[in-house]
Amino acid sequence: MRLDIATVCLSGTLDDKLAAAGRAGFHGVEIFENDLVVSPWSPGEIRQRCADLGLSIDLYQPFRDFEAVPPDVFAANLRRAERKFDVMAQLGADTMLVCSSVSPDAVDDDDLAAEQLHELAARAADRGIRIAYEALAWGRFVNTYEHSWRIVRRAGHPVLGLCLDSFHVLSKGSEIGGIKVIPGGKIFFLQLADAPRLRMDVLQWSRHHRLFPGHGDFDLSAFLGAVAATGYAGPLSLEVFNDVFRQSDPARTAVDAMRSLLVLQEETARRGTAEMRVADLPVVPAPDGYAFVELTAPDPAGVLASMGFVYTGQHDSRPAQLWHQGDARIVVRPGTDVRIDALGVATADPLGAAQRAERLLAPRLSDMDYDDPGVRAPDGVGVVFYRPENDWMAEFTPADPALVNTCGITGIDHISLTAPFDDFDQIALFYRAALGLEAEPETEFAAPFGLIRSRSSADRDRRIRIALNVAALRRGDWAPAVAEPQHIAFTSDDVVASAKAMRELGAPLLDIPGNYYDDLLARFDFSAERLKVLREHSVLYDRDEHGEFLHFYTRMLGSRVFFEVVQRIDGYAGYGVANSPVRMAAHRQFRLTHG
């Protein structure tokens, strides 16, 4: 399939937008009129620039408020259309988008609409141009695709067809089954956009909150499957109005956009629409869990040892130490600050997994850094793939551990990463698509320094869980340094015992304020004894419909990393997000008090 993007999806002036689309590998663009109007290039120069970038101009848009109007307005509209045909001829664009009217001049008369669109099509035909008529969800009289199709059919002109836009169809909750009765040849253009399910004015929703496929709540693969079933063979074109993308680096946005189309095609193919197969996107088995997490740290020994980790070995060729406890393995490289540098993912097909991630537009990791295949995720974290039976730990010369303690850590429960404001959605989609994870429900919570959105994903067996957190709005100068931490959460079968053992070893655990426990007592009918134990060990508590969650934190190590130890009881499925503000305030307080 041809993959297109509307220039309105990208920030900048037209030259920025076209360059970004070309570099991300798109085949064509929709030129948004305002982008052309403000451009210093003539339409002919734009055509040349697109050709140089390997982009065709597949749509000129939008032409508004055309049909079902009184004769004088109609005459003016035809005049306006002829001027736009002039522009299109110079652009070499052969399809013009006509949106259903929102004009107060329009009347509710399908026959008149069909008749006037027929006249427009006749004039377009003379110029070698096709007209794609689209029902806006907020069109004054025509606001469903079924209605736009009735008008197009009634007009009965060969160069008049439909433009279908997933947002306009799915935001109205329209049945997509009706798409299948439209001949594929009469669908002239297909625009794709996802969106979060919001209860708000549909025009505002559309203009500000559209998302690339896979970032929102719409079932786009079902929609695309329905369109493909008609025999539609035109471009899949992204048309996403989004306040953030409008002001973000277009090169990054375009890569994100392309990845979202690849993932959408694969998902549509998986649901049975063979045409949507992406030939060179390997399908790989689910991951088997974390092989390790790699940190940089200036002085790894202290904290890990105080948490009961054992120094297991020194890497044979790299300055990396392996520490472990239970099935939790931490590789530590020297670095000036503490940072999560890479994830080791166990999988039966490491090469396939790396190829898949690379096809999803993640750059390959250098062979210098890792012996095994891996990529750099969009947030800069390395993802390295290992075969579980492959004893990668043989790369390490066993150390003679000075201290051998254990504090009951059994493995890695999840890692939590942060993402820049602009990249949150794309990073979440990348991890899901590259590792075969499923999205878990998104949450948003008020933290001391602003709203935080949290989106986690996990494989079906919950062996890989990745939580992503981001400030819901980009922050200014005020937010303190603890605002964007990363963390690793370890599992324990008895967090109270783990906390006790770690405190005895001098681990830098985070103290939780007494008010928190007074509030727990008000909310839950705890025994005095149970509350006393939690309070004494600064263990936090949550519950969901499945079970209970006990967890505690370390203080901040370096500028942005901390550890957590968690105990899931009876299938608790969350991440204790309700307690995150308590943790954030406590980290801040510690820093204020201890510098």
Would you say 242 or 491 has its CB closer to a copy of itself? 242
Rg (CA), the chain: 28
Residues 6+ apart with CB under 8 A from 453: 424, 442, 443, 444, 469, 470, 471, 472
The answer to whether 165 is annotated as binding is yes
The answer to whether 567 is annotated as binding is no
Which 8-state DSSP code applies to residue 176? S
Q: How many residues bind a copy of itself (CB under 8 A)?
A: 67
The answer to whether 116 is annotated as binding is no
Residues 6+ apart with CB under 8 A from 144: 135, 169, 172, 174
Distance in angstroms (rounded) separating the CA atoms of residues 559 and 557: 6
To the nearest whole angstrom, how small is the minimum distance from the Cβ of residue 293 to a copy of itself? 28
Element (H, E) at 89: helix 71-91
The answer to whether 504 is annotated as binding is no
Check: CB of residue 157 under 8 Å from CB of residue 125: yes
The answer to whether 239 is annotated as binding is yes
Token pair for 212: 């690339």
| CA distances to 282, 452, 579 from 266, in Å | 10, 31, 37
The residue among 149, 218, 236 whose CA lies nearest residue 186 is 149
Check: CB of residue 135 under 8 Å from CB of residue 147: yes
Q: Taking CB under 8 A as the rule, does residue 546 contact a copy of itself?
A: no
The answer to whether 275 is annotated as binding is no
Which 8-state DSSP code applies to residue 440? P
Check: CB of residue 99 under 8 Å from CB of residue 134: yes
Binding flags for a copy of itself, 65-104, as an x/- string (CB under 8 A): -----------x--xx--xx-xx-----------------
Would you say 267 or 422 has its CB closer to a copy of itself? 422
Interface pick for a copy of itself out of 72, 400, 477, 529 (rule CB under 8 A): 477
Token pair for 179: 């798409």
Q: Taking CB under 8 A as the rule, does residue 513 contact a copy of itself?
A: yes
Q: Which residue is listed with tokens 């997000």?
A: 577
The answer to whether 134 is annotated as binding is yes
To the nearest whole angstrom, how small is the minimum distance from the Cβ of residue 252 to a copy of itself? 9
Interface pick for a copy of itself out of 478, 527, 529, 545 (rule CB under 8 A): 478
Would you say 72 or 529 has its CB closer to a copy of itself? 72
- What letter represents residue 595's amino acid? G
Site for a copy of itself in 326-385 (CB under 8 A): none
Would you say 367 or 444 has its CB closer to a copy of itself? 444
Interface pick for a copy of itself out of 108, 122, 128, 204 (rule CB under 8 A): 204
Dihedral sign, Cα of residue 64, residue 70, residue 72, residue 75? positive
To the nearest whole angstrom, how small is the minimum distance from the Cβ of residue 246 to a copy of itself? 5
Which residues define the annotated binding site for a divalent metal cation? Answer: 134, 165, 191, 239
Query: Interface with a copy of itself by CB under 8 A: which residues?
Result: 11-13, 33-34, 36-43, 76, 79-80, 83-84, 86-87, 198-201, 204, 208, 243-244, 246-250, 420-422, 446, 448-451, 471-479, 513-516, 518-519, 521-523, 525, 581-582, 584-586, 588-589
